[in-house]
Amino acid sequence: MKYVLMFIETEEFAHQLEAMGELEREAAYAAVGQWFADHADKITHHAHLAPVHTATTVRLDQGEPVVTDGPFVEGKEVVSGFAELEVADLDEALKVARSWPACPIVEIRPLS
Amino acid sequence: MSGPVHEEVLAGVVREHAGRLAASLVSLLGDFSAAEDLVQDAVETALRRWPVEGVPERPDAWLFTVARRRGLDVLRRESNYRAKLAGLTRPDPAPRDDRLRLVFTCCHPALSRAAQIALTLRAVCGLSVAQIAAAFVVPEATVAQRITRAKRKIGEAGIPYRIPAEEELPRRVGEVLAVVYLLFNEGYLSSTAERAQARDLVEEAEWLAALLVNLMPKEPEAAGLLALIRLHRARGAARFDPAGRLVLLADQDRGLWDRQAIERATALLTRTARAHRRPGPYQVQAAIVACHAEAGTFADTDWAQILVLYDMLLHLAPSPVTRLHRAVALRHVKGPEAALAELEPLGRVLERYPLFHATRAELLRDLDRRGQARRADERALELTANPAQQALLADRLRWT
């Protein structure tokens, strides 16, 4: 089955990242790199999104399309990237998600 | 067997076979939802016909045949199932007991707790939607929707039908035991206002715990949970007076306790502890209940031992409710003042927990702080929805 893992950042996590020294940040990035390498045989596609201040939202349910600045919901938790997996079932996807070394929330959705 | 069939016998036979049938059909069809529907149809047919015709000699074969026929009927349009069902023969003589896989699927952490409970009762215990709704005092439509959603999620989210891998096992066993424990608690002291004690759920919980002990002989916590449930049940007759009022442990007529059941459950606990040497929260809770159960009178209670066990429990599974119970034991070892000092800091987290206020009231009364004790009892009364607890607190406010 195909699943998408959505990586979700919190404000707290963003602050922690900012407060890191250069070495510490390099180590954090290296851990993420290692995670992608460890699961390379299952990850079919992945992407990191530009920060949320770059987001633009279009609403199509109000007659004319309305374009606004910002994400579709203003919140303290934002999607920062995703990885598409090909695994047997949810338990395998959960195992991969559990070992994710960076941002504190991962949502798992099957592709329909 | 023929002639009229007692309802309890009927429920027992269904419970023994529905889960087995569901488990083997999920394996054979590879589709949880479809298999479960067939079992429900078969069970409903049995509940309609057995009271009139009598329970058949081989209920498992009977249910299987009905499920198979029903499947061929309903799923005629779906060629996929049709081919599989047509080729289906009952594995003989004794099919492998697949119910553990069924249990792990029903109690998968990706399902909500309410869904886990409803699905377990339906698929593993063979309860109908109406029976589950009655046990939890919720509308049938709510239960039906919960089960439908859960089954859809199992299919669409790819929740597997198998026993988890070794490294996952401890966590997942914990999840399964938590479902059974909640079921027991709900039955033992129901928090809803409709009735004080839902006996059926307690029975289902005990049966499930016994099933898990059989299916997972290597898990001492399953045996711990079974012993815990049996120790509570052994004292069930003394928990309510003839008028249906709740009787506190100190005031219970211990002559009503089932001594044999207590001995058997305690022996199970000792055997488990010796064989595995892996204590866990359920084993320790059972040991605490065993301490109470073994005391001939309330005054004989070995509170020092109980206090040690609470310390162990707090170490294994820290929780404010456990600290509250430990404070009660401390009152009997070191006195009400020490207990109250332990209790007060819990007020912030347990503000909405009626037992916190009721316990506090007792300690304050011990210390002769009557005004404060009354206010604490009043707060407890406001918070509880359980009629038996309400009656007890109202009584206390009237007489003290």
Residues of B in contact with A88 (CB under 8 A): 158, 160
Chain A contacts in chain B segment 75-134 (CB below 8 A)? 108, 110
How many CB atoms sit inside 10 A of residue B326's CB?
21
Number of residues in chain A: 112
Q: Is B375 a residue whose pLDDT tops 90?
A: yes
Residues of A in contact with B166 (CB under 8 A): none
**Domain that includes residue B76, residue range:** 7-86
3-class state of residue B41 by DSSP: helix
Question: How many folded domains does chain A comprise?
Answer: 1
Contact B108 A90 (CB under 8 A): yes
**CB contact, 8 Å: A110 with chain B?**
yes
pLDDT in tens, A81-92: 999 999 999 999
Percentage, residues of chain B above pLDDT 70: 90
pLDDT value of residue B98: 83
Contact B160 A88 (CB under 8 A): yes
Q: Is residue B329 part of a domain?
A: yes
pLDDT value of residue B330: 97
Q: Is residue B82 part of a domain?
A: yes
**Rounded to an integer, what distance in angstroms lies between the CA atom of residue B352 and that of residue B267?**
37
Structural contact between residues A102 and A3, judged by C-beta atoms closer than 8 angstroms? no
Structural contact between residues B80 and B40, judged by C-beta atoms closer than 8 angstroms? no
pLDDT in tens, A51-60: 888 999 999 9
Contact B158 A112 (CB under 8 A): no
pTM flag (> 0.95): no
Taking each helix axis from N to C end, the angle separating B320-334 and B336-343, rounded to the nearest 10 degrees, works out to 160
The reply to whether omega before B93 is within 30° of 0 (cis) is yes
3-class state of residue B378 by DSSP: helix
In chain A, which residue's Cα lies nearest the Cα of B154? A90
Contact A91 B160 (CB under 8 A): yes
**Rounded to an integer, what distance in angstroms lies between the CA atom of residue B340 and that of residue B318?**
19
Looking up residue A45, the CATH number of its domain turns out to be 3.30.70.1060
Q: Is residue B51 part of a domain?
A: yes
Tokens of A34: 């290692």
3-class state of residue A82 by DSSP: strand
Contact A90 B164 (CB under 8 A): no
Q: Is B393 a residue whose pLDDT tops 90?
A: no
Which of B86, B115, B142 is where one domain is finished? B86
Looking from the CA of A49 toward its CB, the CA atoms found within 13 Å total 17
Give the DSSP letter string of B65-88.
Answer: HHHHHHHHHHTTT-HHHHHHHHT-
**CB contact, 8 Å: B164 with chain A?**
yes
Cα angle at B205 between B192 and B200, to 5 degrees?
55
pLDDT in tens, B35-92: 998 999 899 999 889 988 888 999 989 999 999 888 877 666 566 666 666 666 665 5
Lowest mean pLDDT: which of B25-39, B164-178, B273-287? Answer: B25-39
Nearest CA among A27, A47, A26 for reference residue A36: A47
Split at pLDDT 50, 70, 90, the class of B108 is very high
Q: Is residue B338 part of a domain?
A: yes
Please indicate whether residue B292 or residue B77 has the higher confidence score (pLDDT).
B292
Which of B86, B121, B142 is where one domain is finished? B86
Looking up residue B369, the CATH number of its domain turns out to be 1.25.40.10
Which of B48, B65, B86 is where one domain is finished? B86
**Domain that includes residue A72, residue range:** 2-110
Q: Is residue B209 part of a domain?
A: no
Question: How many folded domains does chain B comprise?
Answer: 2
Looking from the CA of B65 toward its CB, the CA atoms found within 13 Å total 7
Residues of B in contact with A90 (CB under 8 A): 108, 110, 157-160
